[in-house]
Homo-oligomer: A and B are copies of this chain.
Amino acid sequence: MAAKPRPKSDAPDASDRVSRIREGVTAAILEHRLLPGTKLGEDEIGEIYGASRTLVRTALQQLAHEGIVNIEKNRGAFVARPTPADAREVFEARRLIEPTIVDHACEAVSPAWLDRLQRHLAEEREAELRGDARASVRLSGEFHRLIAEMSGHSIYLGFLKELIARSSLIILLYRRHDTPACGTDHHAGIVAAIRKRDREAARAQMLSHLDEIEAELFLKDPATDELRLADVLGA
């Protein structure tokens, strides 16, 4: 009669070693410590985490499936370098999915969740105040993921995790100015709408928030090899 814990396949924070590697590398990419194009050698990572290449390889394959790492046959794994076309696709998908997610989040609202959101906003403000760009980037993505968790839809959550990870890379590559990745004010507005259970307002604010993020990107179209090279040299 056990209630069936049912850890499912992709337990969010499984404490096994491959998850530690995956989350470590993910954090490094999302906080922009690892730049797009960086080679991720198996020995190198294995040394850092004290694991054999078998585990590292598993973690890298998962990251490849999430789209933030490219694995080239017989050449190795590299931090992904999304093209402008990729960027447009990612943001189009987010504009489609995230309004629906906040909609559901409005129905799942509870004091515990509101508290959690409030604490997150405080964390974001704090990071922004002390000018910690890395923490800001990470927290900014976590806000969106938090709302997806709140919605209770595991499929949307899985999709969005992928989209957020890719977005972080895109923002790094194509942001015009060094403005904060997401406006904390927008996030506060979204939380306010959720608190009032105003689904329409929440949808609208989420949509305009995403539009604003994308508007700050400079998505030049051709992305020819020459321009790519120029990017690398400039970086």
On A, residues with C-beta under 8 Å from B are: 4-5, 7-10, 16, 58, 61-62, 64-65, 67, 69-73, 80, 86, 89-90, 92-93, 96-97, 100, 153-156, 159, 163, 225
Q: A73 contacts which chain B residues (CB < 8 A)?
A: 7, 16
In the bound complex, CA of A90 to CA of B69 (Å): 26
- Does B62 lie within 8 Å of A5, measured CB to CB? no
How many copies of this chain sit in the oligomeric assembly? 2
Q: A80 contacts which chain B residues (CB < 8 A)?
A: 9
Given A62-B61, A159-B159, decide whether A89 and B9 contact each other with a Cβ distance below 8 A: no
Q: A67 contacts which chain B residues (CB < 8 A)?
A: 9
- Does B9 lie within 8 Å of A154, measured CB to CB? no
- Does A93 lie within 8 Å of B9, measured CB to CB? no
- Does B153 lie within 8 Å of A89, measured CB to CB? yes
Given A96-B96, A159-B159, decide whether A9 and B70 contact each other with a Cβ distance below 8 A: yes
In the bound complex, CA of A62 to CA of B62 (Å): 8
Q: A65 contacts which chain B residues (CB < 8 A)?
A: 9-10, 62, 65
Looking at the assembled complex, report how far the CB atom of A149 sits from the nearest CB atom of chain B, in whole angstroms: 14
Residue A93 contacts which of B89, B92, B156 (CB distance < 8 angstroms)? B156
Closest to A77 in B: B9
Residue A70 contacts which of B4, B8, B58 (CB distance < 8 angstroms)? B8
- Does B89 lie within 8 Å of A100, measured CB to CB? no
In the bound complex, CA of A97 to CA of B222 (Å): 28
Closest to A67 in B: B9
- Does B5 lie within 8 Å of A225, measured CB to CB? yes
- Does A9 lie within 8 Å of B69, measured CB to CB? yes
